[in-house]
Amino acid sequence: MFRTRITELLGIEYPIICGAMYPCSDPELVASVSEAGGIGIVQPLSFTYVHGYDLREALRYVKQMTKKPYGMNIIVEKSSRVYERRMYEAVDIALDEGCRFFITALGNPEWVVKKVKEREGIIFHDVTEKKWAEKDLSKGIDGLICVNNRAGGHAGTKTPAELIAELYDFGVPLICAGGIGNEFSFIEALNLGYDGIQMGTRFIATQECHEKDNYKKAIIDANERDIVLTERVTGVPLSVIRTPYVEHVGTRAGPIARFLLKNRWTKHWMRLWYTLYSVRKFKNMTQKGGSTKDYWQAGKSVAGIHSIEKAEDIIQKFVNAYLSQCECESCECKK
Ligand SMILES: Cc1cc2nc3c(=O)[nH]c(=O)nc-3n(C[C@H](O)[C@H](O)[C@H](O)COP(=O)(O)O)c2cc1C
């Protein structure tokens, strides 16, 4: 047993989430993390657009591989009608297939809350600071994914310690997302008071993740100084490994793009353009095996990642390390 608010709420064994990752989330990775006692999160666009599954079939495939719970990520940012319709459908399909845990990101999660609460599901939302948390919790969110300044994907600006200090008084479960690459940073996050952790980068360098070997090797070879934020992929700072290509094209959006991204009339169109561009770019990169003109997304957790492992072994290593030093009353360490 390893009890925190998150294991109780989600009915899982260990407070470890494999975060959604476009384009890295695939059914085998999601299922292996859930089967190992954590919880894997489906990224619906990655499953369908990158890995070529029909979403319902893919969720059934996950269920064949594990009977344990899994979750789904919905990026709720305003975008094209087509995208929004696909996301409505994704939530409906997931609910029909028995998924009851959703993680929303980048926008107003209200419509997801409405659909999911009707079916007694649980929703967490990504936040990077207190003012967003206040808004989202008023809409019925159950817990917060606290995205810090070390995260892969769209990083926050605050350290894990700063974020928990700001958010603790809300009294809801808090998940530390960012910077966790080994058992020591896992222990550190739980000792700071987080109820659980979400990892992305660590789970890319696994046997179950279908990313190409050169991407996994780049994660293993990188240290945290190699992680830079670029605005040139999605218009919002995104953590990537500094490669010669990234150095060549630079990391700042051009002056016109910056202007259009700030303007209230044009910013949604601009973000849509960036989204379509990055969706295509990452899809090509995954299918063509990667080239020197790649954006390899990763967080500063690369510092603690030194080998490709099985997801199950990573989870067991983290859990054993935590239990061997834990002195609380509620877990196996006392036995
Ligand atoms: C390659 C990559 C793709 C990601 N894609 C998404 C995504 O589609 N949706 C989302 O909410 N978060 C996304 N994230 C964020 C992760 O779910 C997770 O919060 C983050 O990776 C944690 O930081 P870490 O990489 O240091 O472990 C992505 C992260 C990475 C590394």
Query: What is the rounded distance in angstroms from the CA atom of residue 239 to the CA atom of residue 245?
Result: 14
Q: Is the CB of 38 under 6 A from ligand 1?
A: no
Q: What's the pLDDT at 319?
A: 96
The model's pTM: 0.91
Burial of 257-280, coded b for 16+ CB within 10 Å and e otherwise, reads beebbeeeeeeeebbbebbeebbe
Phi, psi of 69 (to 5 degrees): -65, 150
Give the closest residue to 270 by CA, choosing from 282, 258, 288, 286.
258
Neighbouring C-beta atoms of residue 283, cutoff 10 Å: 17
Q: Is the CB of 198 under 6 A from ligand 1?
A: yes
Q: Is the CB of 23 under 6 A from ligand 1?
A: no
The CA 95 to ligand 1 mean position distance, Å, reads 23
Helices (H), the chain: 5-10, 27-35, 44-45, 55-65, 81-96, 110-118, 130-137, 160-167, 183-192, 201-204, 213-221, 244-249, 255-262, 267-288, 311-325
- For the CA of 298, the closest atom of ligand 1 is 31
Burial of 53-64, coded b for 16+ CB within 10 Å and e otherwise, reads bebeebbebbbe
- Amino acid sitting at position 289: G
Q: What is the DSSP letter of 254?
A: P
- For the CA of 202, the closest atom of ligand 1 is 27
The CA 163 to ligand 1 mean position distance, Å, reads 18
Q: What is the mean pLDDT of each run of 10 residues along the chain (335 residues)?
A: 89 97 96 98 95 97 98 88 91 98 94 96 96 90 97 94 97 97 97 97 97 94 94 81 83 71 68 65 58 78 97 97 82 52
Among 29, 201, 233, say which to mutate for ligand 1: greatest number of ligand atoms within 8 Å of CB: 201
Q: What's the pLDDT at 244?
A: 80
Q: What's the pLDDT at 292?
A: 46
Phi, psi of 266 (to 5 degrees): -105, -10
Nearest residue CA, atom 22 of ligand 1?
178
Q: Is the CB of 22 under 6 A from ligand 1?
A: yes
Q: What's the pLDDT at 189?
A: 97
Q: Is the CB of 4 under 6 A from ligand 1?
A: no
Please, are residues 135 and 154 in contact by the beta-carbon 8 Å criterion?
Answer: no
- Amino acid sitting at position 79: S
Q: What's the pLDDT at 295?
A: 81
The CA 215 to ligand 1 mean position distance, Å, reads 15
**How do residues 104-148 score in pLDDT, each as one tens digit?**
998 899 999 999 999 999 999 999 999 989 888 999 999 999 999
The CA 177 to ligand 1 mean position distance, Å, reads 8
